[in-house]
Structure 1
Amino acid sequence: MSKNAEAVSEVIDNLRRIFQAINEYSKNAERITGLTGPQLWALKILAIAAPLRLSDLARQMYLRPATVVGIIDRLEGKGLVTRTRSIQDRRAVDIDLSEMGRKVASKAPEVAQAMLLNGLEELTDDQFSRVADGMQLMVCVLGAEQITPQPLHG
């Protein structure tokens, strides 16, 4: 195997490791809580910062508000979150954890998304730039520039 072939193999293996790690975190979280990674991530954020407006939660999750509405709908259906009209602005709705949601969040494992965000925050500016540039190149290599990103299910 040439040096180039070894380097290509390492890149592909590292991508596999990333996908496998996200999948394992997702399976573990779902086994323990019955929730998907994005649902659990929303609970974890709310456990720290609730009550939050949907737009604020979406911003913290790096997702579009429309995507987060679906996540919150499912959590509300399971009795884990509540929605109430804001006292300050009657047009706005605050999202909070129910008592059951607090229990689930406190016992739940860490989610891949939070680990990823924490790890990215710990990088130096140079390291972060290299990761961002490399990820953008991978998107281009796969011709995936036009794909709308969906939540990680890990």
Structure 2
Amino acid sequence: MEPSYPLNEICPLPDEDAQALTTSLITCEHVLVEATTRMLEALDESLTIPQFRTLAAVETLGAMSLSDLAKALDVRPSTAMRMIDRLEGRRLAVKGVSPIDKRETVILLTPRGHHLVVRGLYMREQAMCAIVERMSEDMQNNFIKGLHEFVKVSGHEPRQFLPSW
């Protein structure tokens, strides 16, 4: 389906290159979401992607305040609180007292939540590896360089979510 607007107004590349680039990025996004969706289905926990993302943030960053979690997820604190309430109801996360400031509430994963995230991230990493392994070594290296540059110019910092993620 052709866009109803000139692509070069959005992306300063010749139309054909811009279309190929944006199509490739959107296709990559779909591949990643599909891998995550399959992983969530395999976990058989009826988790949504935002719920899993919340659990992964707490797993990766450790116990944190609700406001820190909201910042990490780029959501409002009220949204983060509702998410934690749902995860707490499923016994995947808990609200605890900060060891540093007893007045502050921190978010922690339960052992069940921890194991779920670790298992899910491992499954997703395996799915990604299975795709990447089908690429030539040169293509893998170029892909890595391109993705690193894409992340860098987007203003984000490359993040390590878990030691092998």
TM range (shorter): 0.5 to 0.7
1:1-59 CA-to-partner distances (Å, cap 9, x unmatched) read xxx55335314422431441243133123212332222212222322333211112222
Distance 2:74 2:55 in 1: 15
- Give the gaps of 5 or more residues in structure 1: 133-154
Match of 1:59 in 2: 71
Q: 1:35 aligns with which of 37, 47, 52?
A: 47
Q: Residues 48, 11 of structure 1: CA spacing in aligned structure 2 closer, same or farther, 3 A cutoff? A: closer
Is 1:89 the equivalent of 2:110?
Answer: no
- Rounded Cα–Cα distance in structure 1 between residues aligned with 2:64 and 2:23: 39
**1:16–1:49 Cα change, 3 Å:** closer
Q: Output aligned runs, 1:59-78, within 5 Å.
A: 59-78=71-90
TM-score (norm 1): 0.61
1:65 to partner: Cα distance:
2.0
Larger RCO: Structure 1 or Structure 2 (Cα < 8 Å, ≥ 6 residues apart)? 1
CA contact (8 A) 1:26 1:36 kept: no
**Secondary structure at the residue paired with 1:123?**
helix
Q: Does 1:128 find its partner at 2:140?
A: no
Query: Which amino acid in 1 is paired with 2:68?
Result: D
Distance (Å, rounded) in 1 between the aligned partners of 2:151 and 2:35: 24
Distance in 1, matches of 2:97 and 2:151, equals 43
Give the length in aligned residue pairs.
Answer: 122
Equivalent of 2:34, from 15, 24, 48?
24
- For 1:143, the equivalent position in structure 2 comes to none
The 1:87/1:107 distance shift into structure 2, 3 A limit, reads same
The question of whether the paired residues in 2 share the 8 Å contact of 1:29 and 1:36 is answered with no
| Equivalent pair of 1:86/1:92 in contact (CA under 8 Å) | yes
Superposed CA RMSD? 3.3
Q: For residues 59 and 40 of structure 1, what CA distance do their matches in structure 2 show? A: 16
Q: Write out the 4+ residue segments of structure 1 that deviate beyond 6 Å after TM superposition.
A: none
Tell me which residue corresponds to 2:160: none
TM (normalized to structure 2)?
Answer: 0.57
